[in-house]
Structure 1
Amino acid sequence: MATATRYWVVSHPVQNSSTALWTRLQSSISNRAFDTALYRFSAPDLRVGTLDSLLSLSDDLVKSNSFIEGVSHKIRRQIEEIERIVGGEGGSLTVDGVPVDSYLTRFVWDEAKYPTMSPLRDIVDGIHMQVSKIEDDMKVRAAEYNNVRSQLNAINRKQGGSLAVRDISNLVKPEDIITSEHLVTLVAVIPIYSQKDWLASYESLTNFVVPRSSKKLYEDNEYALYTVTLFDRVADNFKTAAREKGFQIRDFEYSPEAQEDSRKEMEKLSHDQEQMRRSLLDWCYQSYSEVFSAWMHFCAVRVFTESILRYGLPPAFQSVVLSPPAKSEKKVRSILEDLCETRNGTFWKSDDEAGVPGLGGEAESYPYVSFTINII
């Protein structure tokens, strides 16, 4: 996955010609901040409505933007988590088949999805509902996938833990167990450092223990697994005496049927997990594309709304998108302020110095519309 990238969406008022303003923006930024590329941001002429409706919409834009941005990041993190689990590097995120950066810097409004004659509130609410549905769907899909993963991890822990707790059915073979009308074979878990003590004492822990019947089946870093054969009627006495000496007798009954059922369950869960992983990953890549596309249309509505409220009617502004390096941000801000052809420039500059938040809830105010997009 790519590292985090911050873009600014900015609009400047147009006094004479948008082409002339675009040329001045390009020339000034390329001359003084040559490491900052500049792109047009296509905000179409939308249905303005009333001033009250614009003001009401503006109050909700920042909250809705945070929600949509948050969902896009959740999907991205889900993709990264799935890829990390399987040890993959992951594919590149795309929107409508093109890289995310390219989609943003070459954004074109989709009239078929979002008719420009619809009221702005309807467009924003429609985008919010679309993204909310995707978020709800992701929660359900992720929960189902994580549930299967948890079941499989629980089985793996049982099979991969220490002998004191793990499933030992795959360590005991039929020939290791003697079962008759009077005899029974027990399975003992012995600390590594106590093996000599076990071999020296197990025959005398109780009466009727078959001499030299203990056999080591397996050993890990902490414990060794032994069998011991004795008369069934003294099994409880043997278990009690073994516990007193620090030996653990595991409850175990050899069952080929249970082993086969366990193996089939493991295979089924592994298959289900892989199928759900692929399905969730494909869904996440597709849904990220949908959410990001919806987010950029939302940003177009936002820059249009805030520009009308800032500069007035009729709509006359040039919106651009750029991603200056951190070292060039102050320089670029200065260039954008110098090029801001607005009668209210002094007012917004003084607000900025006083720390008064501007339109759209930005932490700082500028004599032009500006907000930030964190895409990855």
Structure 2
Amino acid sequence: MASRYWMVSLSVQNSATSPWGKVQEQISRNAFDTPLYHFNIPNLRVGTLDSLLALGDDILKSNSYIEGVSHKIRRQIEELERVSGAESNALTVDGVPVDSYLTRFVWDEARYPTMSPLRDIVDGIHSQVSKIEDDLKVRVAEYNNVRSQLNAINRKQSGSLAVRDLSNLVKPEDIVTSENLVTLLAVVPKYSQKDWLASYETLTNYVVPRSSKKLFEDNEYALYTVTLFRRVADNFRTNAREKGFQIRDFEFSSEAHESRKQELERLMQDQENLRSSLLQWCYTSYGEVISFLNCLFHFLWHHIQQDRYGWPFSYMFW
């Protein structure tokens, strides 16, 4: 269950320790197991009151946008972990759990100099998160493209015999090919198998007797071979279709079969590599976005503090 935090601002008049102590005392009386944390705000360069108020709406919009990006990344992490069956890992920021990061937050002066105007910092954060979102879209699209190719191959290999790829069902010894003879593949409805076996030799002249062999059967159809003279193949197809039997076009090629096998293996490896890479990227980027979001909380509370209390504003605690 996710932790929930309340953020409270206290107006500091003479001493910062006095209101903090009072709150600690009140909380301990009514909820003794509720921890309190200082939320230390650095002295940021806020400029004039008008500039701070003008920035307020933009901070709220950026906060909503960045929060949305964090949810996208988190959902992507959950999806990738679900697909792989991997155990969910605890999300972190800078290598520490999110809760620990939030309750022990320290302003990164090197990354966000406090002497920089708030507008520059907010715009910079928004720009960086926008780049992360764009990168997420590109990476997810690349991963989904490989998944789509694999799904298409799997559908061909696992669908109905009327439409699926037959190359993994037919062996070289099942096919007779010569100057005069040819082997055809017939897709026969399951309920018509007796009819097929009783009639295939008479569908046209020059059918090799007892040449039909069942190769595979699914829930709807059975796949049979039949060998006949090449010159009557078209006539056989026509007569078979009239009786409800489908003759599938098929030409066995060991080279093509091996090529398809290698392509499938390559796509499976690509999918796993992309999944692993995307998952690690999401872990890292989620931490970065949460870091950006936490910084915006500072700016948002600067705005609230200034609007409510004027200068100077108080410290925060969680």
> Matches of residues 28-107 of structure 1 in structure 2 within 5 Å?
28-107=26-105
Q: Which residue is 1:193 aligned to?
A: 191
Gaps of 5+ in 2: none
User: What is the CA deviation profile of residues 225-260 of structure 1, one whole-angstrom value per residue up to 9, with x for unaligned ones?
Assistant: 110111212212211222222211111000111001
User: What is the CA deviation profile of residues 160-190 of structure 1, one whole-angstrom value per residue up to 9, with x for unaligned ones?
Assistant: 2222222110111111111111211101111
Give 1:221 deviation, angstroms.
Answer: 2.1
> Matches of residues 255-266 of structure 1 in structure 2 within 5 Å?
255-266=253-264
Aligned pairs, number:
318
Task: Give me the whole-angstrom Cα distance separating, in 2, the residues matched to 1:29 and 1:126.
Answer: 38
Q: Structure 2 counterpart of 1:210, which letter?
A: V
Q: Say if 2:59 and 2:299, in contact at 8 Å, map to a contact too.
A: no
> Matches of residues 1-376 of structure 1 in structure 2 within 5 Å?
3-315=1-313, 317-321=314-318
Q: Structure 2 counterpart of 1:304, which letter?
A: H
Q: Structure 1 counterpart of 2:277, which letter?
A: S
Give 1:268 deviation, angstroms.
Answer: 1.0
Structure possessing the higher relative contact order (Cα contacts under 8 Å, 6 or more residues apart): 1
User: What is the CA deviation profile of residues 325-372 of structure 1, one whole-angstrom value per residue up to 9, with x for unaligned ones?
Assistant: xxxxxxxxxxxxxxxxxxxxxxxxxxxxxxxxxxxxxxxxxxxxxxxx
Q: Say if 1:171 and 1:217, in contact at 8 Å, map to a contact too.
A: yes
Q: Say if 1:22 and 1:318, in contact at 8 Å, map to a contact too.
A: no
SS of the aligned residue for 1:184 comes to strand
Q: Structure 2 counterpart of 1:171, which letter?
A: L
Q: Which residue is 1:336 aligned to?
A: none
SS of the aligned residue for 2:140 comes to helix
Give 1:24 deviation, angstroms.
Answer: 1.3
Task: Give me the whole-angstrom Cα distance separating, in 2, the residues matched to 1:208 and 1:169.
Answer: 27
Q: RMSD between aligned alpha carbons?
A: 1.3
Moved over 4 A (4+): none
Task: Give me the whole-angstrom Cα distance separating, in 1, the residues matched to 2:6 and 2:242.
Answer: 72
SS of the aligned residue for 2:315 comes to strand
SS of the aligned residue for 2:40 comes to coil
Task: Give me the whole-angstrom Cα distance separating, in 1, the residues matched to 2:240 and 2:20.
Answer: 87
Give 1:286 deviation, angstroms.
Answer: 0.8
Give 1:282 deviation, angstroms.
Answer: 1.0
Task: Give me the whole-angstrom Cα distance separating, in 2, the residues matched to 1:154 and 1:27.
Answer: 64
SS of the aligned residue for 1:89 comes to coil
Task: Give me the whole-angstrom Cα distance separating, in 2, the residues matched to 1:5 and 1:78.
Answer: 21
Give 1:43 deviation, angstroms.
Answer: 1.4
Task: Give me the whole-angstrom Cα distance separating, in 1, the residues matched to 2:10 and 2:132.
Answer: 34
Q: Structure 2 counterpart of 1:265, which letter?
A: E
SS of the aligned residue for 1:155 comes to helix
SS of the aligned residue for 1:38 comes to coil
Q: Say if 1:21 and 1:318, in contact at 8 Å, map to a contact too.
A: no
Give 1:12 deviation, angstroms.
Answer: 2.1
Q: Say if 1:188 and 1:225, in contact at 8 Å, map to a contact too.
A: yes
Task: Give me the whole-angstrom Cα distance separating, in 2, the residues matched to 1:300 and 1:85.
Answer: 37
Give 1:102 deviation, angstroms.
Answer: 0.8
Q: Structure 2 counterpart of 1:51, which letter?
A: L
Task: Give me the whole-angstrom Cα distance separating, in 2, the residues matched to 1:103 and 1:66.
Answer: 20
Task: Give me the whole-angstrom Cα distance separating, in 1, the residues matched to 2:203 and 2:4.
Answer: 73
User: What is the CA deviation profile of residues 260-319 of structure 1, one whole-angstrom value per residue up to 9, with x for unaligned ones?
Assistant: 11011111111111111111111111111111111111111211222112110123x131
SS of the aligned residue for 1:208 comes to coil
Give 1:224 deviation, angstroms.
Answer: 1.2
Q: Structure 2 counterpart of 1:318, which letter?
A: Y
Task: Give me the whole-angstrom Cα distance separating, in 2, the residues matched to 1:271 and 1:138.
Answer: 21
Task: Give me the whole-angstrom Cα distance separating, in 1, the residues matched to 2:25 and 2:220.
Answer: 72
Give 1:38 deviation, angstroms.
Answer: 2.2
Give 1:35 deviation, angstroms.
Answer: 4.8
Task: Give me the whole-angstrom Cα distance separating, in 2, the residues matched to 1:30 and 1:135.
Answer: 42
Q: Structure 2 counterpart of 1:12, which letter?
A: L
* Distance 1:221-1:35 versus aligned 2 partners, 3 A rule: farther
